[in-house]
Every structure is written in structure tokens, then in C-alpha cells.
Amino acid sequence: MEIHSTQPGRNRTVLVSQRFFDAAATAFLEEHGCHVRLAELPPGQADGGLPEAALQAMLEGADGWIVGHAHVSRSLLEKLPQLRVVARRGVGYDRVDMDAIRDLGKVGTVAVGGNDACVADHTLGMMLALAHRLRESQRRMEAGDWTILPGRDLYRKTVGIVGLGRIGRAVVERLRAFHANILVATPTPSETYGQANNISYVNLPTLLEQSDYISLHAPLTPETRALIDAGALARMKRGAFLINTARGGLVDDAALLQALLSGHLGGAGLDVFQSEADPAMQEVTRQLLALPNVVATPHAGASTHEGLERTNMLAARCVVAALDGTAIPPACLIADGRRAREVQPC
């Protein structure tokens, strides 16, 4: 694995360990006194699969790190005293040890708002692909069978949204064009938002039982891990569709596989998988991918050209703000240990 440098000789170094970091974001960092190092990863390799030793070697001498899905652990951060800011090019941070960032006097940020639109579009695309059986139809046509497979409408169907953050709201906005009946399960309902958007807040069991489509937009926390387990899947309507563009750990993929094989569910749209964090689940993922009523992508919902440009620039701005000691947008700041660094015991 090679590291390519641009503009050597600057007094601050920022490592970018993700692909698709564009010229505008690189130029912004350089204009603000940063020497940018771009990690060249092997084909098919993302930073999330790199061992800690490789990450440590890449990060030696770095003041800032723009990271994708790598595990940002306490043991890694303890070996990098010069590193001051970890900026995720994304919004999830379940792989970031925020307590360690605070304890060690560092800063952690996310790129809030950069990928809402593209993930919401991806979600609707998966709903429509499943409903109209696009994968099944193309596979049959490739085999010479042009038999028409009747699909289903999204128009005026009941859609359940689990989690109502920025992406969940963007999905609601798009579903209004389909005149969908929208149910939402969230721990923090807003009656004003609900009335303005004609949505109904319900508990999760009700949502599972009544929805034709269920789309997950919750963060992965100890409370939400395996939120959609065998029991939850059994509650879903026969023939319903499950879409997960949030985090793989929200769904018990083995239970999902059984629900699909049994014919209980109509299909699943999956951009995330348990196997991303747990290699022992790779066989389950392989079996899910083989099913004709599964539409899958490799955690690519946020990866449009425009979405990547937005999140790249947000991450770059957060890095510069942290290194300069200027204000970081509050929504982007997930952990701030700078005060702890400044106030050391005598």
C-alpha cells in the first residue's frame, strides 16, 4: 500500500484514508496550510478492513485524519499523540471511540448534511426496484425468458420509517410525491413536523404490522442493535419489503435470510450488512446476495459524485477548524477533548 503526498513542506499533515477525495477539497486543505497525504488502497480495499498496525503506519506524523469506515480505537489513538482531529466523511460514528477522543484531548467530527439527499434517493430507488422486480426481470431476460412479472405500487402504500433524523426526513419528503401513508417510529417525535408532513407516529410493533415497506434510518447503538430480529420480521406483513440503508447491525441478517427463503417477506433492499463488521457473517451475506428478490449495494448509498464532493468539503472544513482552533459547526462535532487537553492537573 502506497502513500502519495501533495504539496510537501507544509507544517500540518492531513491523511485521507478514503477513495474519491476530490480536487476541490484537497485544494481547500492546501490553501489552509495543510500537507495532504492520500492513501492508495488496493483494489476492493476500503480503510474499514485495514488492521490497526497498517492504520498506525499510515497516520505517523499526521495532525488530521479524514476517515471512512476504519475502526478508530483507543489503542490506535494512544499511539498517535500528534493526531489532533478525526473527521469522518459520513455521519455514522459507531466505529469511533468518542470517549477515547475526549480523554486524549482530540476532536471528532462527522459530515452532517452532506449525504442526506443521495441516501434518500438510494432508499427510494431500492423501494421501486423491489416493487417492480427489476432484478428478477433482468435476470430472466438475460436467460431468454421475457415473461412479464407483475410488480407492486409504491403509490398510496403504507411506508414505515424507523428513525427520523435528516435522512429519514428526506425520505419522507420524497414519499409525499407517491401519496404514501407514512408511519414513523422514533424516540423523539415532533408533533409540529408530523402535522406538517401528514405522518403518524406509532410504536415499532404497530409499524411492523401495518407497513408495506419498512425503511431503517436509525443510528446503531446498544439499544438498536438487532432491532429487526426474528421476532420483528415475523410481525411484518406477509409480502412486505425491508430496506436498510443505515447500519448493518440494525438487522439480524440470518433471520432476514430465513424470512426471505420462507416467502414471508416480499424482498429486501440492502446497502449495509452485518458482515461489514463481523466476518463470520460473510456466508449469510453471500446467500442474501444470491436471492432474486434482494437488491444490494456495497454501502454505496452516500457515494454519488455530488454527495462525495459535499462530504469531502465538510470533512476538510472540520479539520481546518479543529487545527486552527476556530468554531466547528455544532451538528458536526461529536467529541471534543480540547478543553481537557488545555486543563491538565498540576
Q: Give the angle 74-79-83 at the CA atoms, nearest 5°.
A: 90
The string of DSSP codes covering 145-201 is ----------TT-EEEEE--SHHHHHHHHHHGGGT-EEEEE-SS--HHHHHHHTEEE
- Say which of 247, 338, 341, 342 is annotated catalytic: 247
- Say which of 71, 84, 89, 276 is annotated catalytic: 276
Determine the length of the chain.
346
- Taking the CA atoms of 318, 311, 190 and 186 in sequence, report the sign of the dihedral they define: negative
Query: To which residue does cell 404514501 refer?
Result: 180
Sheet bearing 267-270, strands edge to edge: 199-201, 181-185, 158-162, 213-216, 241-244, 267-270, 294-296
Radius of gyration for the chain, computed over Cα atoms and rounded to the nearest angstrom: 22
Query: To which residue does cell 434482494 refer?
Result: 294
Say whether 305 is catalytic.
no
- Say which of 69, 102, 217, 299 is annotated catalytic: 299
Strand partners, 333: 109
- The grid coordinates listed for 183 are 408511519
87/29 Cα distance (integer angstroms): 13
**Residues 6+ away with beta carbon under 8 Å from 74:** 97, 99, 100, 103, 104
Which run of H or E residues covers position 309? Answer: helix 305-324
Say whether 276 is catalytic.
yes
Say whether 217 is catalytic.
no
The string of DSSP codes covering 190-243 is -HHHHHHHTEEE--HHHHHHH-SEEEE-----TTTTT-B-HHHHHHSPTT-EEE
242/265 Cα distance (integer angstroms): 8
Residues forming the active site: 247, 276, 299
